[in-house]
Homo-oligomer: A and B are copies of this chain.
Amino acid sequence: MKEKIVETSIDLFGKNGFTETSIQDIVEALGVTKGTFYYYYKSKEELLMEIHLRYIDDLILGQKEILEKKLSTEEKLYQIVYMIMKYIEGHGQSARVFFREMQHLNEEHLKDIFSKRDKFRKGLNNVIQEGIDTGEFRQDLNVNIVSLAILGAVNWSYHWFDPKGELDEKTVSTIYIDFMLNGLKAT
């Protein structure tokens, strides 16, 4: 039931917004009572935090697994970009709730989520730094800013990526990585 509450809420928050969705709306969509909701969650905010934690924890775990593999820096970068794209492809509404409804978390929860987002970003920073250290990447890169540009390009896809569209997440990731590694300029 906990799982169903989370799934239904992601759907309702994503479609109608966090503020616009009441606990009543959630329990009605599930055909259960408010008591059932309060058995699992103290408040709507606590449920929102669970949705946020799942999103960022899944990505941190996925990144950790990639970083532990013996791969070239280029391949690690590809796998991280693909993982995020794939996650957005499969969890578009979660991404929407994660990035759009964050301001409805309480201060303590928000701090926790920001610190986890920082952790993920630093993991990406480390990959870029590794590429610089091994000589695969240019020596004059600004690691922090380039990392934010990459995350921006990939995260933004929740605004436009259509799982039913012409290109699948694998093709888009491949085009992204080629652009990120080689740039626009003719050589």
Chain A residues close to B by CB (< 8 Å): 17, 19-20, 74, 77, 99-100, 103-104, 128, 131, 135-139, 141-142, 145-146, 148-157, 159-160, 167, 172, 175-176, 179-187
Contacts and interface: CB of A to CB of B under 8 A. Distances in A.
Contacts of A128: 184
A81 to B, nearest CB: 10
B157 A148 contact: yes
A20 B101 CA distance: 12
A104 B157 CA distance: 20
Contact of A185 (B136, B156, B159): B136
Contacts of A142: 175
Contacts of A186: 135-139
Interface of chain A, main secondary structure: helix
Contacts of A152: 152-157, 159
A133 to B, nearest CB: 11
A179 B141 contact: yes
Contacts of A146: 175, 179, 184
B180 A145 contact: no
Contact of A156 (B131, B148, B176, B183): B148
7 contacts: A135-B186, A138-B186, A142-B175, A152-B152, A153-B156, A179-B183, A183-B183
Nearest to A172: B145
Nearest to A14: B103
A120 to B, nearest CB: 13
A56 to B, nearest CB: 14
A154 B176 CA distance: 15
A105 to B, nearest CB: 13
